[in-house]
Every structure is written in C-alpha cells, then in structure tokens.
Structure 1
Amino acid sequence: MHGPVRLQVPYADTSARQLAFSLTADLQEPLAHCDHRVDAATTISLRLLGASHQVVIENGLRRLCETVACLPGTDTPLPASVRDDDYSFVSRIEECDRERLADVVDDLARRSDAHRAAGLPAVIGHFPGEPLAVTAVLAVIRADAIAWETWHTYPQCAEVVVTASELRRPDPVAPR
C-alpha cells in the first residue's frame, strides 16, 4: 500500500468506547492493508477495518491476530493492557479538541510517509467527508521484537484511541 488511502466507506463508528479487543477474532476483509515480509518465515499485515484495525503476524509456527474493532457479540471492552509470555498491548483514550485532533492527523500523515520512505510497514486511512477521521497503523521491526502503534480518531466525540503492541521474537539460535 503506497501513501494515504481514501477509504471508500462512510465513517460509522460513534465513539471510542464501542471498541472491543480480541486475539481470536476471525480475519476480516480489510478496506486497506500493508503487507510486509519481516524475514524468510515471518510476515506482518497491517489491516484497516474502517475505524478499526487488525494486525496479523505469521511466522510458520504461530499466527497472532490482534483486532481492535466494534465486534458484535464480543463482551471484551478495550482493555488498558494485556500481557502474556511474548505479547503486550496497551491502550488509552485521549480527549482532543479539533485543533489538537488536526495536529494529530497531520503528525500521523508525516510519520506514515517517513515510515514508508524507510521501508517500514505503515497504513493510514482517511474517511470521506470528515478530514479528521483517520485510522493509522505503523510498525517497526527490531531484532528482538515486532512493535506497532495504532490511532483511531473520533472527531465527533473529540477522542483518539492510541494503542501500542509488541510481539517479542524468539532469540536466534547461537552458533556452536
């Protein structure tokens, strides 16, 4: 995916508090995505589902599918944090007036461009009719982890949902 994406669906989510979290949700058809090969065995897919996201990491042994979305039938609200052996997730909801929200959207556009220019996975989607309604996912790949941040803006509620996640990578086998 190259550059910002103009999403072809109307902006529909009404507030950050409608978002739910799942590591077991089915894959959903993305409105936009950025797929990236990390190494010979590992891929990451950043997927926009409207004002929601999925990040899918596959390494041949495991598939992690983080979903933050309005998930019908899901009673798991967006948690402040989730941690297990090799995965961590944190989220927060920030209140922003329109001026601050415009600054956030401009900053995300610049950061997304810089990520792509550096060969890193990034996707940002803009909704028609509401220039401050965006969803963005930026990822970094390190030797020890794959990390990503997301932003979901809700201009009608003056809110931004910010998440940060990390999947630690196994230590490489030391040579003998």
Structure 2
Amino acid sequence: MLVTLDAPYVDTSAADLSLALGGPERPALHVRELTLPGGLTLRLRLLGASHQVVCGGLTETVACLPGRPPHLPGALHDDAAGYRFTATVLRPDGDGLRTRVAALRAELADDPYALVGVFPGDVDAVTALSVRPDPPDGTVGWRTWHAYPQTNELVLTETVVAL
C-alpha cells in the first residue's frame, strides 16, 4: 500500500536514528494492521520520525527519538527473546537512490503485506515496511527502508522474531 503523508518530513539523516524495543506506541501518520496466514496480527506504523512495528508483545521503533541519543546498531541478537535485527546504511552513487526508491515504490505499492509512506516535498523521501506473509520455522520477519534524499542515504533494516 502506497500512501502520501500529510506531514513534514522530520528525519534528517541515518545518523539520527535509534532503535528502541518496548515502550509506548507513538503518534502515527498512518497505520496498517495486517493479519498473516495463521492468524498473527501486526501493526505497521508510519511515524513523522520513521517507523514502528507492533507484533504481539513486541514494539520495535526505528526513529529519531527525542531525548534519546541516536544509535542504530548494525546488528542486535537476543536469542533468549528470539529477536534478531540488522541495519545497513547505503550511499548509492549518482542517481542510485532515486532509482532504488522508484523501484521500491513500484514493488510495494500493491503488496498486501507492505506500507510505503511518501513525505511531501520529495518523492524520494519515503519510509517503507514489508512483512513476510509466510514466516518459516515459527518466525515472523519484516524489512524496512528509510530514504534520506538530502543526505543520499538509504537505511535498510531486517527483523526476525521467534513466535
């Protein structure tokens, strides 16, 4: 699902992002609730400052979080909780960011398990989330993309959670 957001673009760069687990649901610009095959329900939430996914008792937020120093780990594995997270920051050459974001918008626009928010002012300022509808091995997973055209950055995250 592709949505145009009616809110200012708050994020400034990949270096401003943090990962937070737990905590309250933050005010959202758009929410998409999904029920996966097997009955698991997730909420994909687009924030003015990036994204939040609510899955069962887990709340994952990747955003510019006021009062919290920015820190987006490259990897976080908590085997006891069954949680794995990875993040990568890409800085594509030339028109690479524009090309990647256009492909992402096209690929996910009609995906029933995705949400893409386009911020006003630049079609390349997007936050996108996509859930794997058929989780293997008793897990659920999602990927996110945060595009920062002003700094030519694309942040990719991937999360896998044991059910």
After TM superposition, the score normalised by the length of structure 1 is 0.83
Does the alignment pair 1:124 with 2:119? no
What does 1:9-158 align with in structure 2 at a 5 Å threshold?
A: 9-38=7-36, 39-40=38-39, 42-58=40-56, 63-75=57-69, 77-85=71-79, 86-97=82-93, 99-113=95-109, 115-116=111-112, 121-141=113-133, 142-143=135-136, 144-158=138-152
SS in 1 for 2:69: coil
| Superposed displacement of residue 134, structure 1 | 0.4
Task: Measure the CA separation in 2 of the matches of 1:20 and 1:115.
Answer: 27
Distance 1:21 1:74 in 2: 10
Aligned equivalents of 1:129, 1:104: Cα separation in 2:
18
Q: Distance in 2 between matches of 1:43 and 1:20?
A: 25
Unaligned stretches of 5+ residues in structure 1: 170-176
The 1:158–1:34 alpha-carbon spacing in structure 2 relative to 1, beyond 3 Å, is: same
TM-score by length of structure 2 reads: 0.90
Q: Contact 1:151 / 1:163 at 8 angstroms: preserved in 2?
A: yes
Paired AA for residue 132 in structure 1: D
Identity %: 39
Report the aligned-residue RMSD. Answer: 1.6
Give the Cα separation in 1 of the matches to 2:60 and 2:53: 5
